[in-house]
């Protein structure tokens, strides 16, 4: 197995130097080429957006999030070089709920069904936070569909989260859910307060009931993988190192920042930071190898 940790100093210097009838057009999505639509997959009317042209790159958002709250900062950058397929999972954003629990395995099956609907036999997959867990499950359950993986701030064992995370999750409620996530959900349908509550409860239940994956599960991942984590993330750097040792043909990147700040995620983004641009450059270099 090849383990490669990038030097932050070198990377920063690099930056400084350097569809069918179900589809509908949307003037709110940035160019160069964008469409959005819904696909009926596994009993779910799943929302997706396609931006740009080139090799397909799937983006999977984090828990409680939408495409824009997770990837709004870096999606336009990625769409300059890739055909970005961004999805919204069960209960999230434009995609409504269905009468089954959320699981990372089911989310993986939904994304794969969407790719088949879009006649995309294989794609690079990138997921943030809970979306990173789903990304790994796609590679485990559907290896034929996954080309390369970018796994951002994800975990595979409970001990990989910072101390007190799961205890705090027990006390979480809708009133202390980050305001920008609530506002993003209600901006899509301001009358769907019941849907917002359902999304929150689905996500909370999934985390509280989470059971560790086996080391062998990660060892089954055959796709070349880039694991990214922040040095002040909710996933510990030690856990990210452990993941990189378990996933064959993986590389590890530890960046300065909190959960999602280095990709410009809505809660932690800093307008003046160049690190999201740096992160995209590293991802692009990894994908084109």
pLDDT per residue over 196-216, tens digit each? 999 999 999 999 999 999 999
Evaluate whether 134 touches 87 at the Cβ level (below 8 Å): no
pLDDT confidence of residue 269: 56
Q: Kindly report the pTM of this predicted structure.
A: 0.89
Q: Give, in order, the Cα–Cα distances in Å from 214 to each of 49, 236, 241.
A: 33, 18, 16
SS (H, E, C) 88-143: ECCCCCCCCCCCCCCCHHHHHHHHHHHHHHCCCCCEEEEEECHHHHHHHHHHHHCH
The answer to whether residue 5 scores a pLDDT higher than 80 is no
Is cis: bond before 32, omega within 30 of 0?
yes
Q: Which pLDDT score, from 0 to 100, does residue 284 have?
A: 98
Q: What percent of the chain is predicted at pLDDT more than 90?
A: 84
pLDDT above 80 (res 98)? yes
- In the three-class reduction of DSSP (H, G, I as helix; E, B as strand; rest coil), residue 219 is classed as helix
Q: What is the pLDDT of residues 233-246, one digit of tens each?
A: 999 999 999 999 99
Using DSSP's 3-state secondary structure scheme, residue 279 falls into helix
Q: How far is C-alpha 224 from the geometric centre of its chain's CA atoms?
A: 17
Domains in the chain with CATH codes: 8-287 (3.40.50.1820)
In this structure, how many other beta carbons lie within 10 angstroms of the beta carbon of residue 50? 21
Taking CA atoms, 288 is separated from 57, 88, 147, 148, 284, in Å, by 12, 26, 11, 10, 6
């Amino acid at each position: 197995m090849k383990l490669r940790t990038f030097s932050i100093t070198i990377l920063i210097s690099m930056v400084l130097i350097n569809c069918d009838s179900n589809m509908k057009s949307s003037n709110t999505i940035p160019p160069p080429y964008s469409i959005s639509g819904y696909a009926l997959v596994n009993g779910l009317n799943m929302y997706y957006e396609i931006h740009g042209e080139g090799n397909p790159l799937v983006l999977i958002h984090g828990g409680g999030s939408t495409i824009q709250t997770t990837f709004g900062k870096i999606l336009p950058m990625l769409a300059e070089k890739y055909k970005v397929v961004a999805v919204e999972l069960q209960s999230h954003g434009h995609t409504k709920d269905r009468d089954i629990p959320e699981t990372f395995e089911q989310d993986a099956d939904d994304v794969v069904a969407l790719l088949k609907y879009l006649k995309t036999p294989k794609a690079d997959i990138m997921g943030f936070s809970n979306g990173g867990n789903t990304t790994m499950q796609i590679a485990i359950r559907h290896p034929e569909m996954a080309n390369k993986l970018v796994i951002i701030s994800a975990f595979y064992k409970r001990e990989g989260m910072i101390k007190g995370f799961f205890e705090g999750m027990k006390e979480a409620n809708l009133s202390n859910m980050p305001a920008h996530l609530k506002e993003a959900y209600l901006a899509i349908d301001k009358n769907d307060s019941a849907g917002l509550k359902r999304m929150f409860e689905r996500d909370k239940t999934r985390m509280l009931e989470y059971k560790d994956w086996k080391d062998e599960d990660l060892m089954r991942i055959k796709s070349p993988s880039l694991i990214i984590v922040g040095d002040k993330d909710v996933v510990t750097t030690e856990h990210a190192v452990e993941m990189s040792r378990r996933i064959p043909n993986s590389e590890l990147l530890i960046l300065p920042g909190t959960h999602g700040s280095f990709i410009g995620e809505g809660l932690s983004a800093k307008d003046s930071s160049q690190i999201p641009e740096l992160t995209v450059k590293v991802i692009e270099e990894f994908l084109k190898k």
